[in-house]
Structure 1
Amino acid sequence: MRSLKVLILEDNPFQLMALHQMLNANQVFDVLTAGSVEAAQRSLSNRGGVDIAICDLQMDGPDGLTLIRHLAETGQASAVIILSSAEQSVLDAVAQLARQQGIDVLGCLQKPASVATLGDLLSLWQRPSEEAVAAGPSADSQPFTAHELHQWQMGQPEDDQPRYPQWIAHYQPKVSLDGQLTGVELLARWQHPTRGLLAPGQFLPALEQAGLCGALTWRMLELGLTLSTERLHSTGRALPVAVNVPPAMLDQPDFVPKLQAMLERFPVRAQMLTLEIVEQSARQMAVVQFENLLRLRMAGCRLSIDDFGTGASNIQRLLEMPFNELKIPAEFVRGMADDRRKSAVVAGAMYMAQKMALDVVVEGVETVDDFDALLGLGRPTIQGYFIARPMSEAQLLLWIEQCREQAPWLETLPLVT
C-alpha cells in the first residue's frame, strides 16, 4: 500500500514547519513544502503529483486560489484541504469553487490547525483504485479531450446497448435515520483501458460537446435497473435506484416511450426508479418537458428535484411539477453544525417539504457533527461520506452485508420505537 503523499502551500515559515510536524505526528512523512504557488508548481512538476494538497489562501503574489485552479487543470492532487485565517464563509465559498472545478475537498481548517483536526481530515481521504494508481497521476487525471473521445468512438461497435461497456456506475448508499438502506444513487465513471478510472469531471465536458450525455444516461439507467433486478432475484426485494437525467433529455418526445420500453424488460416496478432532475436555467419549462414529467409520474417513476435551492425558481418548480422528492445539496449541509445560516436553510427546506408531502434526501453529510445537527430537524434520508462514499457494485454488495457491523452512524442514532 502506498504511503500518503502531501503538499503544503504556506508562506509563513513557522506555520509551514508546524504543519510539517503535524503531518509527521499523523504518520505522514512523504511531504512536499512550498512557500509560494510558483514553488508548489515546480515541486509538483519535478516530484510528481500528490494525494492531498494543503492550500493556504492568502499570500503575497499568486494566492491559494491560483494553485487550486492549477490542480484542477492538471489533476496533480487527488484532494485538497483548505487552510486560512479568513472567515468561515470565505472558506466555504472557496471549497464550493474547488468542488465546481472537480476537486475533492476534504475540508477547511481555520488557522491555527491542530494535530487532531488535521488528522480527522486526512482520514477522509480515499485511496484511488488500483487501476488508477497503476495509470499514474498524470495519466488518469487529465481531462478527456474531444479529439481523444473521437478517436475512442471510432473503435466502438456499431450495435445498440450496451454500446459503451467502459462506462460503469459507482453507487452511493442512502440510509434512513433508523439505519435502513433506502436505495442508491448511480454516479457515472469511465473505466478507460489506458487511463484508468475517470471521474465525471474528466470526461463529461467532452461528452457534452459530442452529444453523448444521453447515451451515458441510458447506460446508467440500464445498470441501475439491472442491479435492482439482481437484488430482487437474490433477496426477494428490489433495490431502489436513482439516476440523474439531464434536463435536455426531457425535451425529447420519445424519451418516455423509450424509458417505458426499458422498464418492460425488467421485473422491478417503476417505483424502484427515481429520476433526479437538475434545474439549470430560469427559462420557462417547455410543454414537452412538462408532459414528459407527468407521464413519468403516471408510469410510476419517482421524480426528484436535485440540488434544490441552487437553480432558478425552484420553489415555483416545486409548486408546478409533480415531484416526489426534494434533495438538499451538499453546499447547504457541509458545516451546518457550526453555521446557523446553513442550519436555517436546511431546516426551512425540510419543513416546506414536509408540508408538501415530499420525501427529503440530504446530500453531503460528511461529519458526525453535521449528522447530529440533522437529527433534530426531522427524518430525512441521509447520503454522504459519513455514511459511505460512492463504490463499485462489488464493494456495495459487501457494504450491504457488513454495514451493521461497521457503520459509524448507527451508534449515534436515537432509539426508534
Structure 2
Amino acid sequence: MRSLKVLILEDDPFQLMALHQMLNANQVFEVLTAISVETALRALERQGPVDIAICDLQMDGDDGLSLIGHLAATSLAQAVIILSSAEASVLDGAAQLARQQGINVLGVLQKPASVTAIGELLSEWLALVEMPGSASRSTTSELPALPPLDATHDYGAEWIAYFQPKVGLDGELSGVELLARWQHPSLGLLAPGLFLPRLEQAGLMPNLTWHMLELALSLSYRLLLARGRALPVAVNIPPQMLDQADFVPRLLLLLERFPVRPHMLTLEVVEQSARQMAVVQFENLLRLRMAGCRLSIDDFGTGASNIQRLLELPFSELKIPAEFVRGMADDRRKSAVVGGALFMAQKMALNVVIEGVETREDYEAVSMLGSPAIQGYFIARPMSEADLLNWLDELEHHPERVLGFRAVKPDRAPAGR
C-alpha cells in the first residue's frame, strides 16, 4: 500500500483505536484521529488536507454529515468512507448526499469494519489515482496544483484515452468506453478527478470531448481496416454540448472522416439538471438517433436521469451506476432496484450496461437478474490503447485468460460493417 494520509472521525475510543490499527495493517501510517467534528477540523487546519476521511455518522454534537459538508466545501479530503451502525438505508442516503455535494464516496461500511474491507476500499482509491504507467507518488494532497489553463492552447497532445471494455454475461464484447487521462508534462499521468473540474471551469470540456470522439472513431476505423470489423466505442458527452446548434453536423463530419457505421458510436449523456430540456438539446438528441448513433442515459436513477427522461427522450441504452451494484449480493434493496431496471429496459427494448461490477459476488448477483452488458474491474480495468489491443487479441484467442467467467461464445466481437 503506497503512502496515504487518512483522517478518522469516530467518537468511540475503542472503535477509533481499532480503525487506526486496521489502517496500519494496510500500511497506512499517516493517520489523523478525531473524536468530534470540531477536533477533526482542528486537525485538518493544523496538518493539511487528507486523501481519505473515514466518517462515523452518529455522535454527540455535530454529526458526520456536518464534516462531510465541510469537506465538500473546502476540498480538504479527496474521498470519504462512511462507517456507521445505522441501517443500510441511512448509510446509502448519506452516501448519496455526499455525492451530490461533489465528494467521492469510496464505500459505506456497517460497523464493525474489518481489515480486509478497509484494505479493499483503499486499494480502489489507489487504482483511481495511480493508473498503470503513472509516475510513483505518495498522496494526492501532495501533488502540485495544475498551472493556470489557457483556453486558447491546444492540449490534444497531452490528453489521452484509456479504454474499459463492456462484455455480455456470455462473454460477447459489447464495446469499450473511453475515459480521459492527462499525460501532463510535469505531473505525470493524471486521473480525471484531478483535472476535469479545472477543465470545466476553464471552458475546455468541449475541447476534451471532441478530442475523445476523434480518438474513439479513429481507433474503431483502424480496427475495421485491420481486422474487418469496427470496435463499438462510447464517449461521455457533457450536457452543455447539446446546446450547440452545430454539434450534430460537426459529429457527422467526423463520422465521414472515420467512416464506421454510426451505430458503432454510443454517446453517454449525464443530465445535471431536472429542468425541462431545451428545444435545441432535444432536437440534437433526435438528430443523433436519426443519424444512427446510439444514446445512453448515464448514471440512471441518480440526479435528473430518471424514468420520465426515458419516456421523453430517444435513448437506446441505460447505464446502471456502480453505487447500485457494489455489495448487491448482500443487499436485497439494491438487487430489487437493478432487477426492476432490467425488467423495465427489456419491455422498452433498451440495452443495459451495469457499471461497477468489481467482484465475483457482484457478477453472480447480476447474472441472476438478466443478461446486461457488464463493466468493471471484474472484467477489466481501464487500459491504454496498446494494452487494449493485446486484451482484444487475448479475448479472441484465449478468452479464459481475460474473463473471470466461463460460457464464452466462439464469435465474441460484433461485426463492424
- What TM-score, normalized by structure 1, do the two folds share? 0.82
1:228-251 deviation line (CA, Å, top 9, x unaligned): 233334443322111122233233
8 Å contact kept, 1:135–1:196: no
**C-alpha separation between the residues in 2 aligned to 1:123 and 1:406?**
23
Residue 184 of structure 1 is aligned with which of 173, 176, 185? Answer: 176
8 Å contact kept, 2:51–2:139: no
8 Å contact kept, 2:151–2:204: no
The 1:195/1:76 distance shift into structure 2, 3 A limit, reads farther
8 Å contact kept, 1:74–1:141: no
Q: 2:22 is matched with which residue?
A: 22
- Cα distance, 1:46 vs. partner? 6.2
Does residue 315 of structure 1 match 2:313? Answer: no
The 1:118/1:199 distance shift into structure 2, 3 A limit, reads closer
Residue 360 of structure 1 is aligned with which of 352, 356, 371? Answer: 352
**C-alpha separation between the residues in 1 aligned to 2:351 and 2:298?**
12
Q: 1:409 is matched with which residue?
A: 404
- Cα distance, 1:49 vs. partner? 5.7
SS at match of 1:126: helix
Q: 1:153 is matched with which residue?
A: 151
- Cα distance, 1:317 vs. partner? 3.6
**C-alpha separation between the residues in 1 aligned to 2:100 and 2:311?**
28
The 1:335/1:243 distance shift into structure 2, 3 A limit, reads same
Read off the aligned partner of 2:140 and give its amino acid letter.
P
Does residue 138 of structure 1 match 2:172? Answer: no
Q: 2:33 is matched with which residue?
A: 34
Output aligned runs, 1:308-387, within 5 Å: 308-312=300-304, 314-387=306-379
> After alignment, is 262-271 or 56-65 more displaced?
56-65
> After alignment, is 305-314 or 371-380 more displaced?
305-314
SS at match of 2:211: helix
- Cα distance, 1:110 vs. partner? 0.9
> After alignment, is 119-128 or 180-189 more displaced?
119-128
SS at match of 2:296: strand
Read off the aligned partner of 1:34 and give its amino acid letter.
T
**C-alpha separation between the residues in 2 aligned to 1:139 and 1:64?**
25
SS at match of 2:124: coil
- Cα distance, 1:32 vs. partner? 1.3
Q: 1:84 is matched with which residue?
A: 84
The 1:75/1:251 distance shift into structure 2, 3 A limit, reads closer
- What TM-score, normalized by structure 2, do the two folds share? 0.82
Does residue 11 of structure 1 match 2:14? Answer: no
**C-alpha separation between the residues in 1 aligned to 2:198 and 2:26?**
39
SS at match of 2:404: helix
> After alignment, is 207-216 or 297-306 more displaced?
207-216
- Which protein has greater RCO, CA pairs closer than 8 Å, 6+ apart? 2
Q: 1:231 is matched with which residue?
A: 223
Read off the aligned partner of 1:32 and give its amino acid letter.
V
Unaligned residue ranges in structure 1 (runs of 5+): 158-162
1:19-70 deviation line (CA, Å, top 9, x unaligned): 233344x442524141244555565666666554433233345443444455
**C-alpha separation between the residues in 1 aligned to 2:332 and 2:348?**
24
Read off the aligned partner of 1:59 and give its amino acid letter.
M
- Cα distance, 1:361 vs. partner? 0.9
The 1:53/1:288 distance shift into structure 2, 3 A limit, reads closer
The 1:408/1:236 distance shift into structure 2, 3 A limit, reads closer
**C-alpha separation between the residues in 1 aligned to 2:82 and 2:394?**
33
Q: 1:301 is matched with which residue?
A: 293
**C-alpha separation between the residues in 2 aligned to 1:172 and 1:87?**
34
Read off the aligned partner of 1:301 and give its amino acid letter.
C
The 1:250/1:21 distance shift into structure 2, 3 A limit, reads closer
8 Å contact kept, 2:3–2:139: no
8 Å contact kept, 1:56–1:84: yes
- Cα distance, 1:365 vs. partner? 2.4
The 1:166/1:135 distance shift into structure 2, 3 A limit, reads farther
**C-alpha separation between the residues in 2 aligned to 1:39 and 1:234?**
61
Q: 1:160 is matched with which residue?
A: none
SS at match of 1:17: helix
